[in-house]
């Protein structure tokens, strides 16, 4: 582990052509060549809001004020220490070509923030689990395709990667806790995995499971949670064009804290649906019970579609906070993906009503 990280640290390219502002934090890495202009400006705005260009402001975003020693966080947050291994066998698949169909209405979230402010209860319930998550071992990693399928199979992750077509997509992400981000995911459409699986006609849902390993994932020692983490989708949802199985972010393999080596991304649903570090896809006739649904079904239901008009029982969902950006935005119905997904729920609304969104 230690040697791997040291190797990474040495191999980080230094781009000398970009002027570095004075008073830069230690994690500052010039990236203007690689970053679209809008994002670059947004980064400057973020740095300014964090006091980088002036006196340290009182308006530090909450995420850097969550208990971690700041210089230690800076050290650990730099891009050379995100658990990306130069020996990752999937490295050659990056960067994948961007699918230009999926455009954003806002700037991308800064990589440093998206990779250091996480929800991954297997490593603890705080947002600062990125260091602890480095103990996750990514190889060997097997993915089971099971249940109501023509031929159940267990695939080594790199064999699975060879059978699908990688692309990059820019999606919004909306956590049920009312924070949001915008991320460039690399991966492949869920429909490609369903095609590989060949579900039987009796299959109506797909149930996904996160790795269960209490040593690697010490959060799983917390007995009051129903481990392992489970999520589910209808087959129609899983084969919707937006449903994506992500293997990387920001043009690189997925950091462990973001759910390596394979995680779901369903951007019209609250973030807890986007299950991380998946080891099983089981096709079922019965609707699966999700992890959070089992913990607290009245607050975290199966459907969990983003809807500004259906408040969480303990807070409003009308607005959201983009990580690293000051101020709030209006929450969008289906997180702005209504054209792609509204038809999935047209018939269901009559019978399920508000429950569709919980």
Ligand X SMILES: Nc1nc2c(c(=O)[nH]1)N[C@H]1C(S)=C(S)[C@@H](COP(=O)(O)O)O[C@H]1N2
Minimum CB separation of residue 198 from ligand X in Å reads 26
Alpha helices in 115-251 (DSSP H): 157-162, 190-197, 235-238
Minimum CB separation of residue 118 from ligand X in Å reads 3
Minimum CB separation of residue 195 from ligand X in Å reads 24
The answer to whether the CB of 264 falls within 8 A of the CB of 190 is yes
Q: Is 258 in the site for ligand X (CB under 6 A)?
A: yes
Query: Any idea of the CA torsion for 207, 169, 50, 17, to the nearest 10 degrees?
Result: 140
Q: What tokens does 278 get? A: 């998946």
CA 219 from centre of chain: 18
Q: Is 301 in the site for Mo ion (CB under 5 A)?
A: no
Using CB under 5 A as the binding rule, the residues of this chain from 247 to 286 that contact Mo ion are 271-272
Q: Is 175 in the site for ligand X (CB under 6 A)?
A: yes
Q: Which helix (H) or strand (E) holds 40?
A: helix 37-49
Strand residue runs (E) in 85-223: 142-147, 153-156, 167-174, 179-189, 205-210
Closer to ligand X by Cβ: residue 205 or 229? 229
Q: Which of 161, 190, 272, 357 binds ligand X (CB under 6 A)?
A: 272
Q: Which residue is nearest to ligand X (CB)?
A: 271
The site partner of 208 among Mo ion, ligand X, none (C-beta below 5 to 8 Å per kind) is none
Pairing assessment for the beta strands 319-322 and 179-189 based on DSSP bridges: parallel
Q: Which of 120, 283, 302, 357 binds ligand X (CB under 6 A)?
A: 120
Q: Which of 121, 185, 227, 334 binds ligand X (CB under 6 A)?
A: 121
Q: Which of 252, 276, 321, 358 binds ligand X (CB under 6 A)?
A: 276
Q: What tokens does 47 get? A: 């740095």
The site partner of 227 among Mo ion, ligand X, none (C-beta below 5 to 8 Å per kind) is none
Q: Which helix (H) or strand (E) holds 257?
A: none
Q: Which of 8, 90, 119, 128 binds ligand X (CB under 6 A)?
A: 119
Q: Which of 46, 133, 157, 175 binds Mo ion (CB under 5 A)?
A: 175
Q: Is 172 in the site for ligand X (CB under 6 A)?
A: no
The answer to whether the CB of 179 falls within 8 A of the CB of 198 is no
Task: Find, among 215, 192, 78, 223, the residue nearest to 135 by Cα.
Answer: 215
The site partner of 275 among Mo ion, ligand X, none (C-beta below 5 to 8 Å per kind) is ligand X
Of 21-29, 48-56, 68-76, 112-120: span binding ligand X (CB under 6 A): 112-120
| Three-point CA angle 58, 79, 142, nearest 5° | 125
Q: What tokens does 321 get? A: 């906070």
Separation between Cα atoms, residue 308 and residue 335, nearest integer Å = 9
The answer to whether the CB of 246 falls within 8 A of the CB of 262 is yes
Q: Is 171 in the site for ligand X (CB under 6 A)?
A: no
Minimum CB separation of residue 50 from ligand X in Å reads 20
Minimum CB separation of residue 22 from ligand X in Å reads 32
Task: Find, among 146, 149, 145, 147, the residue nearest to 163 by Cα.
Answer: 145
Of 8-16, 32-40, 170-178, 341-349: span binding Mo ion (CB under 5 A): 170-178
The residues of the shown chain that bind ligand X, judged by CB under 6 A, are 118-122, 175, 210, 229, 258-259, 271-272, 274-277
């Amino acid at each position: 582990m230690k040697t791997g990280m040291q190797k990474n640290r040495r191999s980080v390219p230094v781009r000398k052509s970009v002027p570095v502002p004075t008073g830069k934090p230690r994690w500052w890495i010039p990236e203007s060549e690689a970053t679209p202009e809008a994002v670059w400006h947004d980064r400057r705005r973020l740095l300014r809001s964090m006091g980088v260009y002036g006196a340290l402001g009182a308006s530090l975003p909450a995420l850097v004020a969550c208990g971690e020693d700041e210089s230690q966080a800076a050290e650990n947050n730099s891009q050379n220490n995100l658990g990306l291994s130069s020996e990752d066998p999937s490295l050659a698949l990056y960067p994948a070509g961007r699918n230009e169909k999926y455009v954003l209405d806002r700037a991308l979230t800064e990589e440093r923030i998206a990779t250091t402010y996480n929800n991954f209860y297997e490593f603890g319930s705080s947002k600062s689990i990125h260091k602890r998550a480095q103990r996750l071992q990514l190889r060997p990693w097997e993915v089971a395709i099971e249940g109501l399928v023509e031929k159940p199979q267990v695939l080594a992750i790199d064999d699975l990667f060879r059978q699908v077509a990688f692309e990059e997509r820019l999606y919004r992400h909306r956590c049920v806790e009312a924070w949001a981000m915008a991320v460039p995911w690399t991966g492949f459409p869920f429909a490609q995995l369903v095609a590989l699986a060949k579900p039987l006609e009796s299959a109506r849902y797909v149930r996904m499971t996160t790795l269960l390993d209490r040593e690697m994932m010490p959060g799983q020692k917390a007995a009051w949670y129903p481990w392992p983490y489970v999520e589910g989708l209808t087959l129609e949802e899983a084969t919707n064009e937006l449903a994506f199985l992500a293997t990387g972010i920001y043009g690189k393999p997925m950091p462990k804290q973001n759910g390596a080596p394979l995680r779901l991304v369903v951007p019209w649903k609250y973030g807890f649906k986007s299950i991380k570090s998946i080891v099983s896809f089981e096709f079922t006739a019965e609707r699966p019970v999700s992890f959070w649904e089992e913990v607290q079904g009245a607050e975290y239901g199966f459907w969990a579609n983003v809807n500004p008009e259906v408040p969480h029982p303990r807070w409003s969902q009308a607005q959201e906070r983009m990580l690293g950006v000051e101020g709030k935005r209006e929450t969008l119905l289906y997180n702005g993906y209504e054209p792609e997904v509204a038809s999935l729920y047209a018939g269901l609304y009559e019978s399920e009503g508000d429950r569709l969104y919980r």
